[in-house]
């Protein structure tokens, strides 16, 4: 759900903001210390109570306005530590500056029961350690929310991969030492070295190289083995082959007192592990962000009992229980309304934002939001039986795209076959020409320099660089695969509500005086229209007045007194609200769900890349056409239901198109799953995020464009890297066949070729920037 952005981003220079809310900086009428809403007042009280007033002097940007949060905190994986404490990780949105991080950490640390709290500014991750007998994760999350930041549960907390770091550390330690020893051994070729010293150096090298070959390189052997078992020749196979030959040769050479390639072996393993680590780091960041879901089913519900109400976890709800749902709550279960009335927002399920009025006899579904009013609901389906859960499950199954073999994996079988053939020819040729001894040495040299270290690094490194470049621009991919698939896209289909548009109404027409009164009435409202009015008033810097006797009537509007008159704010038909005074004055405010600010620019740039852009929507053709012409989209298909969108995507694919689909609702799920690349808006339905390949983490369309550019840049770099490393391999193998390669030559060539590939990957960001300056 995207809340209207409050311009709390006003910069602050002193602790006291004149005529503004001291916490969020929204303009307010009255005394200097008047808060704009209860949320800000509570946030400031928490900060003052913790003795952290310094925050107000040091912050560079005002805080966001606090909003209530819900989330499946009980589903966050919690680690039980040995000291009896629990540990878990959350994502925190809305951290705007280092002061935000500071105040959040300190407030958490001073909360009873918390033993440690760290918040990361770079990644927005909070790591919490608390005593479960004193507090709960939900309570801590609400504490973060009370400050104005938005915590989200991390459903699959990926722990940093320490195993890879350990292997890399050992490989680096060993390879550095072996290199030092090897330098003196090679120096011994030109001066003299006593055999006993040479033997000492050889044996020491072997001792150092053994853990590298047997333990550090284990991931490559495991990869090659699993590839073989699945009858797939992957890049790991020639690598594992190369490592075995290098180590086997080193073992025999050391026994015979000859020079070995062990320095090359250790260096190669260290480089490959470093490449893996960079790749894993980029991927972990992206994947973690993608699984951070705003889970839309609340973890508890208020159940009616014989004596009153009790709060129970959702999994204890049974059929025919009666639950009470208040304004601002999400439904915990599917059910039938038995009492009360109100307006329900189903945007997560249907994609359309207009509230739906409900009354006794209507059905409601879990995950929908009650905007106003109060209801009693008889539970008909809970947990896994709910509509939202069944749809999400079906989508997850549909989105299983499998893993595409990388370009490297496609080359691998040929590569292995050619290497083995050349090795056999070399052996045969030299055994005829000069006997067994030189034949073995040269064959080993061929197999050593053919080890495709640079080739294996070229794709993962460039893809990791591409993932980093897109992540910095607000698009997070679940896998490098999806990023690379983007290049083939020739058709971009965009959903209307919440994707092309912001998903929430915005004020498009109102004079300042009208807006001031309306904002005064709606000051404490949670209704999207009320929030839009307050947000627009804040944007225009109209100080919020304080209305008295404010009364909200479910589904009807709001009334209150201001400036000595009684005002009434009511719906005035589609897209407008009417403000009426007792004196008979009548004014209108028009609202619309408008295209995102960067929509037209993004569409133009997509056209510039040669892509076709189509608008798909479940809405009326008239509204869709108007938006399409405002943003420059040439083709619109209106009145499509979820299945029709997915069918449309499949039909285009059948015509040979590669389709990118961008959407946000649960209704977009089938199309997101069917598309070649599905991109979800981060504030959309949890299930759409689950089935998408990528998630836009900012409130904009531009990141999709950045993703397309990064994909092209990554492909260019992968291509040139692969050509370079193939040329290197061909030349080096040629030299080895001719008998020109010895351990020293190999020790120089190998890091050179890998360094070339690493340099190539570092150019991805440069290429993306270049395209951005060319095409705007």
Partner 1 sequence: MDGIIFLLPVALLLGAIFAGLFLYAVDRGQFDDLDDPPERILHD
Catalytic residues: 495
C-alpha 56/C-alpha 44 separation (Å) is: 9
51, 82, 122, 549: which one contacts partner 1 (CB under 8 A)?
A: 122
**Shortest separation between residue 121's beta carbon and partner 1, angstroms:** 5
187, 200, 252, 424: which one contacts partner 1 (CB under 8 A)?
A: 200
C-alpha 257/C-alpha 250 separation (Å) is: 10
7, 42, 121, 726: which one contacts partner 1 (CB under 8 A)?
A: 121
Do 665 and 633 touch, CB atoms closer than 8 A? Answer: no
**Minimum CB distance to partner 1 smaller for 98 or for 513:** 98
C-alpha 710/C-alpha 470 separation (Å) is: 6
**Minimum CB distance to partner 1 smaller for 301 or for 758:** 758
Q: Is 110 in the site for partner 1 (CB under 8 A)?
A: no
Of 72-80, 173-181, 342-350, 534-542, the window that binds partner 1 (rule: CB under 8 A) is 173-181
Q: Is 358 helix (H, G, I), strand (E, B) or coil?
A: strand
**Minimum CB distance to partner 1 smaller for 215 or for 414:** 215
Q: Is 218 in the site for partner 1 (CB under 8 A)?
A: no
Q: Is 197 in the site for partner 1 (CB under 8 A)?
A: yes
Q: Is 102 in the site for partner 1 (CB under 8 A)?
A: yes
Of 60-68, 119-127, 405-413, 713-721, the window that binds partner 1 (rule: CB under 8 A) is 119-127
Q: Is 101 in the site for partner 1 (CB under 8 A)?
A: yes
Do 565 and 559 touch, CB atoms closer than 8 A? Answer: no
The 3-state secondary structure of 3-46 reads: CCCCCCCCECCCCCCCCECCCCCCEECCCCCCCCCHHHHHHHHH
Burial class of residue 292, CB neighbours in 10 A (0-12, 13-18, 19+): buried
Q: Is 653 in the site for partner 1 (CB under 8 A)?
A: no
**Shortest separation between residue 173's beta carbon and partner 1, angstroms:** 4
82, 83, 194, 655: which one contacts partner 1 (CB under 8 A)?
A: 194
- Tokens at 45, concatenated: 């009280």
- Tokens at 635, concatenated: 């083709």
Torsion of CA 710, 711, 712, 717, to 10 degrees: 90
C-alpha 351/C-alpha 147 separation (Å) is: 30
Axis crossing angle, helix 436-450 with helix 702-737, rounded to the nearest 10: 170
Q: Is 255 in the site for partner 1 (CB under 8 A)?
A: no
**Minimum CB distance to partner 1 smaller for 188 or for 575:** 188
Q: Is 160 in the site for partner 1 (CB under 8 A)?
A: yes
**Minimum CB distance to partner 1 smaller for 172 or for 500:** 172
Q: Is 214 in the site for partner 1 (CB under 8 A)?
A: no
C-alpha 218/C-alpha 224 separation (Å) is: 10
Site size toward partner 1 (CB under 8 A) is 23
Q: Is 82 in the site for partner 1 (CB under 8 A)?
A: no
Of 162-170, 295-303, 565-573, 646-654, the window that binds partner 1 (rule: CB under 8 A) is 162-170
**Shortest separation between residue 612's beta carbon and partner 1, angstroms:** 39
**Shortest separation between residue 13's beta carbon and partner 1, angstroms:** 18
HSE-up (13 A, CA, CB side) for residue 85: 14
HSE-up (13 A, CA, CB side) for residue 431: 9
15, 16, 45, 98: which one contacts partner 1 (CB under 8 A)?
A: 98
Q: Which among 109, 255, 262, 266 has a CA at the least distance from the CA of 172?
A: 266
Sheet with 635-637, edge to edge strand ranges: 475-477, 694-696, 677-681, 659-663, 491-495, 612-616, 635-637
**Shortest separation between residue 176's beta carbon and partner 1, angstroms:** 8
How far from each other are the two terminal CA atoms of the chain, in whole angstroms? 29
Do 630 and 600 touch, CB atoms closer than 8 A? Answer: yes
Q: Is 736 helix (H, G, I), strand (E, B) or coil?
A: helix
Of 113-121, 220-228, 262-270, 308-316, the window that binds partner 1 (rule: CB under 8 A) is 113-121
Binding mask 598-617 toward partner 1 (x if CB under 8 A, else -) reads: --------------------
**Shortest separation between residue 172's beta carbon and partner 1, angstroms:** 8
Helix (H) or strand (E) holding 680: strand 677-681
**Shortest separation between residue 768's beta carbon and partner 1, angstroms:** 20
**Shortest separation between residue 147's beta carbon and partner 1, angstroms:** 16
Q: Which among 740, 729, 704 has a CA at the least distance from the CA of 483?
A: 704
Binding mask 298-317 toward partner 1 (x if CB under 8 A, else -) reads: --------------------
Q: Is 170 in the site for partner 1 (CB under 8 A)?
A: yes
Do 366 and 334 touch, CB atoms closer than 8 A? Answer: yes
Q: Is 120 in the site for partner 1 (CB under 8 A)?
A: yes
18, 162, 230, 231: which one contacts partner 1 (CB under 8 A)?
A: 162
Q: Is 190 in the site for partner 1 (CB under 8 A)?
A: no
Axis crossing angle, helix 599-608 with helix 621-631, rounded to the nearest 10: 70
Of 23-31, 134-142, 166-174, 476-484, the window that binds partner 1 (rule: CB under 8 A) is 166-174
Axis crossing angle, helix 512-522 with helix 528-539, rounded to the nearest 10: 130
**Chain residues in the site for partner 1 (CB under 8 A):** 98-99, 101-102, 118, 120-123, 160, 162, 165-166, 169-170, 173, 176-177, 194, 197, 200, 204, 208
């Amino acid at each position: 759900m995207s809340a209207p952005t409050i311009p709390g981003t006003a910069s602050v220079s002193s602790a006291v903001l004149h005529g503004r809310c001291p916490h969020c900086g929204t303009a307010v009428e009255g005394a200097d210390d008047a808060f704009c809403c209860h949320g800000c007042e509570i946030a400031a009280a928490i900060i003052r109570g913790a003795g952290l007033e310094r925050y107000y002097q040091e912050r560079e940007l005002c805080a966001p306005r606090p909003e209530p949060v819900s989330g499946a905190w009980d589903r966050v994986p919690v680690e039980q530590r040995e000291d009896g404490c629990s540990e878990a990780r959350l994502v925190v949105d809305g951290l705007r500056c280092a002061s935000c991080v500071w105040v959040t950490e300190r407030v958490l640390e001073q909360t009873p029961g918390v033993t440690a709290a760290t918040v990361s500014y770079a990644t927005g991750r909070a790591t919490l350690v608390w005593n479960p007998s004193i507090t709960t994760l939900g309570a801590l999350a609400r504490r973060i929310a009370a400050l104005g930041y938005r915590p989200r549960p991390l459903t699959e907390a990926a722990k940093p991969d320490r195993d890879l770091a350990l292997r890399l550390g050992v490989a680096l330690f060993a390879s550095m030492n072996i290199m030092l020893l090897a330098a003196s051994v090679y120096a011994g070729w030109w001066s003299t070295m006593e055999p006993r010293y040479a033997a000492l150096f050889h044996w020491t090298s072997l001792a150092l190289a053994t853990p590298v070959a047997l333990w550090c390189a284990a991931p490559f052997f495991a990869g090659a083995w699993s590839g073989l078992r699945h009858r797939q020749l992957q890049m790991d196979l020639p690598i594992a082959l190369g490592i075995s030959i290098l180590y086997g040769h080193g073992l025999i050479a050391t026994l015979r007192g000859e020079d070995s390639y062990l320095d090359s072996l250790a260096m190669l393993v260290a480089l490959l592990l470093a490449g893996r680590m960079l790749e894993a780091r980029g991927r972990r960041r992206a994947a973690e962000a993608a699984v951070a879901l705003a889970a839309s089913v609340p973890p508890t519900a208020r159940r009616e009992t014989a004596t009153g109400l009790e709060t129970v976890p959702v999994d204890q709800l049974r059929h025919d229980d009666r639950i009470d749902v208040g304004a601002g709550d999400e439904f915990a279960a599917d059910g039938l309304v038995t009492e009360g009335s109100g307006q329900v927002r189903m945007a997560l399920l249907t994609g359309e934002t207009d509230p739906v009025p409900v009354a006794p006899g209507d059905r409601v579904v879990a995950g929908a939001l009650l905007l106003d009013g109060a209801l009693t609901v008889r539970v008909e389906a809970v947990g896994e039986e709910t509509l939202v859960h069944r749809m999400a499950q079906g989508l997850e199954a549909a989105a299983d795209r499998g893993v595409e073999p990388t370009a490297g994996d496609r080359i691998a079988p040929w590569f292995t076959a050619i290497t083995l053939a050349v090795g056999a020819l070399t052996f045969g040729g030299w055994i005829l020409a000069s006997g067994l001894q030189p034949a073995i040495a040269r064959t080993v040299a061929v197999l050593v320099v053919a080890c495709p270290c640079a080739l294996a690094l070229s794709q993962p490194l460039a893809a990791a660089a591409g993932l980093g470049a897109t992540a910095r621009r607000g698009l997070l991919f679940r896998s490098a695969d999806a990023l690379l698939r983007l290049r083939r896209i020739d058709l971009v289909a965009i959903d209307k509500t919440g994707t092309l548009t912001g998903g929430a109404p915005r004020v498009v027409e109102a004079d300042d005086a009208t807006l001031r009164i309306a904002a005064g009435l709606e000051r404490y409202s949670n209704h999207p229209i009320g929030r839009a009015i307050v947000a627009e008033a804040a944007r225009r810097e109209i100080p919020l007045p304080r209305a008295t006797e404010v009364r909200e009537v479910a589904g009807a509007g709001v009334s209150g007194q201001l400036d000595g008159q009684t005002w009434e704010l009511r719906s005035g038909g589609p897209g407008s609200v009417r403000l009426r005074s007792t004196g008979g004055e009548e004014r209108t405010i028009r609202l619309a769900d408008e295209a995102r600010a960067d929509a037209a620019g993004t569409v133009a740039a997509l056209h510039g890349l040669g892509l076709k852009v189509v608008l798909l929507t479940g809405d009326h053709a008239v509204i869709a056409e108007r938006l399409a012409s405002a943003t420059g989209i040439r083709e619109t298909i209106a009145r499509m239901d979820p299945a029709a969108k997915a069918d449309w995507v499949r039909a285009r694919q059948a015509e040979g198109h590669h389709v990118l689909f961008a959407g946000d609702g649960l209704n977009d799920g089938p199309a997101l799953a069917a598309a070649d690349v599905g991109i979800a808006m981060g504030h959309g339905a949890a299930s759409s995020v689950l089935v998408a390949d990528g998630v836009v983490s900012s409130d904009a369309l531009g990141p999709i464009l950045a993703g397309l550019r990064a994909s092209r840049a990554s492909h260019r770099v992968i291509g040139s890297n692969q050509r370079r490393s193939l040329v290197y391999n061909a030349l080096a193998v040629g030299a080895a066949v001719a008998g020109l390669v010895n351990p020293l030559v190999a020790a120089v060539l190998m890091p050179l070729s890998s360094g070339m590939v690493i340099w190539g990957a570092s150019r991805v960001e440069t290429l993306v920037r270049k395209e951005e300056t060319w095409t705007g």
